[in-house]
Structure 1
Amino acid sequence: MSEFLDILTHGRRFKAAVKELSVDDLKDLAVKLEKIITEKVQQAEEENAAMAERNAKIEEIRQQMEAVGLSVDDLGVVATKSAPKKKRAPRPAKYKIEVDGETITWTGQGRTPTVFKKELDKGRSLEEFLI
């Protein structure tokens, strides 16, 4: 918890923190806190109402399923039948360079490998490395 919340939630620490405030400032603070509390209560009530509405819809659908003779297990079979994700094949290399007997290839996408970058900085063109 932050230091602010520690002070706010501890009675004596809170009292010590606000001792320099005037009565009017404390009343303004109380009004602001009351507004926040009211908003929180209203938000909680809205969430509870939405959850109750959701649960009522679920119950209605469950009763419809029961009337037709379906079960939740029947839905599980349909819901899990999705096409498997296909992994795409890696891109073929487009450029090739030979460095110290080692062949380094690059697709031409993404960050330029340092060996290609060094050669390009020397003045060579990328077309020289085409496969």
Structure 2
Amino acid sequence: MNELVRGLTNLRSLRAAVRELTLEQAENALEKLQTAIEEKRTNEAELIKAETERKERLVKYKELMEKEGITPEELREIFGTTTVSTRAKRAPRPAKYAFIDENGEHKTWTGQGRTPRPIQNALNKGKSLSDFEI
């Protein structure tokens, strides 16, 4: 994808690519690119319009609240305070396997994630994972 963007935004790359195409192929590509650009313009215009309408509605509601004498605190009382539920952090998994690393340090592994290199090397040499169980 990065190469495509780089090719489309670099004039030298575009010229080199167009040299390899027939005139008909180049015009067909241009037409498709113009269609895609027009669709993107339309989509962005719709998003801007929707956001503008939303902001206008908010201003209208604010003015209506002020006219009726409703305060934001009263709305908070009605709707209640919204709290973001925080997920309880789970306890770390206990270690299942013990091994000695390249530096001679005693290490442990839970059995999840990537297999530590010393264990993987031993497994490749024919050892069993049960040989490392705690």
* One-letter amino acid of the structure 2 residue matched with residue 5 of structure 1: V
Q: CA deviation at 1:40?
A: 1.0
1:74 Cα offset (Å): 4.0
Separation (CA, whole Å) in 2 of partners of 1:53 and 1:84: 28
**Per-residue CA shift, 1:11-45, capped at 9, x if unaligned?**
10121122110100010011101111111111111
2:42 alignment partner AA: Q
Q: Which residue of 1 aligns with 2:48?
A: 48
TM-score in terms of structure 1 length: 0.55
Residue 70 of structure 1 and its aligned partner are, at CA, apart by 2.4
Specify every segment of 5 or more residues in structure 2 that has no aligned partner in the other structure, as ranges: 88-134
User: Which position in structure 1 is the counterpart of 2:28?
Assistant: 28
| Residue of structure 1 in register with 2:15 after alignment | 15
Q: Show structure 1 runs of 4+ deviating over 2 A.
A: 70-85
Aligned-CA RMSD value? 2.9
- Please tell me the residue identity of whatever aligns with 2:63: Q
Which string of whole-angstrom CA distances, capped at 9 and with x for unpartnered residues, describes residues 72-109 of structure 1? 34434544535897x9xxxxxxxxxxxxxxxxxxxxxx
Cα distance in structure 2, aligned partners of 1:12 and 1:21 = 15
TM-score normalized by the length of structure 2: 0.54
Percent of aligned pairs sharing the same letter: 27
- Residues 22 and 62 of structure 1: CA distance in aligned 2, closer, same or farther (over 3 Å): same
How many residues align? The count is 87
The structure that has the greater radius of gyration is: 1
**Whole-Å separation in 2 of the counterparts to 1:50 and 1:84:** 27
